[in-house]
Amino acid sequence: MEKLKLREDARSSKQPLEGLDLAQPESPSLPPLPGTLLNLSWGRFPFRLLISSPFPRPGSYKRAAERLRSVTMFQLCLLLALALVAAPGARAACPVPADLKNPDGTRTCAKLYDKSDPYYENCCGGAVLALEPGADLPFLPSDWANTASSLVVAQRCELTVWSRRGKAGKTHKFSSGTYPRLEEYRRGIFGDWSNSIAALYCRYRRAPLSADPPPKPPTPPPPPVPTPSVHAPVLVRPWSS
């Protein structure tokens, strides 16, 4: 009898191993998963086992690419809208020297700007200081001293700048052209000309007037033409004895 009870206890201990339930889940409310979900039980302790598939579902790459494309297009549209709504003074571009004219048509010698940018298309922004031909400012206004970071010099003009007030310190001459980033122009060994202009002089070089051609040198007189010498006839008398 004791041996029979031991055999029954051994069978009862193996019973949970024989009662594994490998049926698929019958609940249709579960979300689809990329693999197989098994409902298992160990005796009185049920549990679930997810066997994932090493291969993606058909069309998963295509759906991911479409989702990424839609997100990228949304970001591009958002950036374009922000650029269009931005303030007009935030974006600027340097004018060409030929366009430096006042609204009334008078000539402007140079223009200074207090904003520059690592991107050249965004330079020459912010406040503007227009200089007339012959402008001589050894002492710039307090709001423009050591402030300019971009400048444009008109045609036939030359801008001379100094690093200290009263036309002292380092000096540099800017000929006609566009200078969007003064950081690229050296001032001495360690400095540059961005936010370093404290005095200036803008000179307009007028075009040379069309002078009359120089007079031609006088033509030398023609050499005299030799005239043949005319000798008077000599009368020879015959000799007479």
**Number of neighbours of residue 150 by Cβ within 10 angstroms:** 26
Give the pLDDT confidence score for residue 51 in this predicted structure: 63
Q: Please give the backbone phi and psi of residue 154, each rounded to the nearest 5 degrees, phi first.
A: -70, 170
- Ramachandran angles phi, psi of 83, nearest 5°: -70, -35
Task: Name the pTM for this structure.
Answer: 0.49
pLDDT reported for residue 70? 62
d(CA 123, CA 92): 6
pLDDT of residue 52: 59
Token pair of 73, please?
């297009």
The pLDDT value recorded for residue 93 is 81
What whole-number distance in Å separates Cα of residue 68 and Cα of residue 60?
12
Q: What is the pLDDT along the chain (241 residues), one digit of tens a residue?
A: 554 454 455 455 444 444 444 444 444 444 454 556 667 777 677 767 666 555 555 555 566 666 666 656 666 666 665 554 443 333 458 999 998 887 787 889 999 999 999 999 899 999 999 999 999 999 999 899 999 999 999 999 999 999 999 999 999 999 999 999 999 999 988 899 999 999 999 998 875 555 556 677 778 888 887 776 655 565 656 665 5
| Token couple for 180 | 């969007």
